Amino acid sequence: MLGVRVHPTGPPDQESSHGKEWPDRTERTENPEAGQCSHAPWRRKRTRSALLPAHPTALAGKRGRGGILALGYAEDALGGPAGAFVRLRALSSLAVSVFSVLAPLACAQGNYEVQVYGSETVPPGRTMVELHSNFTFQGSRTSVEGVRPDEHALHETFEVTQGFTSWFEIGFYAFTSYRAGEGYQWVGSHVRPRVRIPQAWQWPVSVSISTEIGYQRRSYSTDTWTWEIRPIIDKQLGRWYLCVNPTLDRSLHGLEARKGLIFAPNAKVGFDLTKRVAAGLEYYGSVGSVTGFDPPREQQHSIMSAIDLHLGPSWEFNFAVGVGLTASTDHLLAKMILGRRLKLGDR
């Protein structure tokens, strides 16, 4: 889970884009004397960010994160409620202000799949193919506990998710990293089965649960084998979309194995600006062991402003820019998600 997706549940045969969550949850350890920290690149569960589509039901399961420039472009090109844009821009400006204060404190954090999961699963017989591209503008500049620096690193994750029933899917991830002088490197691979509560049960909120396990090379993470369980709860309220992922991470082999279960919450608030544009704010955190949280300086907290474009039932596009709010978090990250839903065998 190197990255997150957000999307309420829709009918099993619905062709709306599939929302998920980079994992990017990252568990980190910090050396207070050196002012550095290490991390496992997937603590922020692929936070999959999904598109919030035009149709209210489709909007339910999409993900999204966007930047200030992208929001401004959408306003000029596509129009939309001016008041909503003003509020979103004000929040983005506040986040940037916080970044400018905390920038000197930033530390390393793995960013491979940054995404907040929505409860929707891929329909049976369909295959979702996604490319997650994340670039760290300002991050760690030196190796920490054997983990390579990530400043100016391009992390790309290739994800394939197959739907088997209206309530069950399996996803596969392959993580890569590119940095000047290092070239393209394979980082690791994960597998993620997920189930969701059937719509026929008529719960007041949409719910699904995913679990993810995988390997990552030691030079890219202090933990080579990790596992995660992610409850996903979301709800569409008119033009508003709410989602929370109270994720639990566990290192199976590595420096953080002794910490046990790590609490890494993710959340998203989205708003449907037009039939084709949705904007929102996403939060990613990792606060330490469930038996005792880390000191504030060692926790990870970041906020991303997101924009999602609804390009049709078979496509997904998301762009986001985020800032870290603590010393243990990379403080300037941009990410893009491009997804395509396929029915293999169709001509």
- Confidence (pLDDT) at 218: 95
Separation between Cα atoms, residue 124 and residue 167, nearest integer Å: 9
pLDDT of residue 345: 61
* Mean pLDDT per 10-residue segment, the chain (347 residues): 40 41 39 40 37 34 37 43 50 43 36 88 95 90 88 94 96 96 94 96 96 96 96 96 97 94 96 94 95 93 94 88 89 92 74
DSSP 180-213: TTTEEEEEEEEEEEEEE--GGG--SSEEEEEEEE
The CA distances from residue 96 to 41, 210, 281, 287, in Å, are 24, 32, 13, 22
Residue 296: closest CA among 145, 105, 160: 105
- Counting Cα atoms < 13 Å in the Cβ hemisphere of 250 gives 12
Q: Is the pTM of this model over 0.85?
A: no
The owner of tokens 């569409």 is 236
Q: Does domain 23-342 have CATH number 2.60.40.420?
A: no
pLDDT at 111: 74
Q: What is the spatial distance between Cα 339 and Cα 244, in angstroms, rounded to a whole number?
A: 22
CA–CA dist 36, 212 (Å, integer): 28
Q: Are 304 and 280 in contact (CB under 8 A)?
A: no
Hey, where are the domains in the chain? 23-342
The CA dihedral of 97, 101, 102, 105, to the nearest 10 degrees, is 150
Tokens of 149: 């620096």
**CB-CB contact of 273 with 13 (8 Å):** no
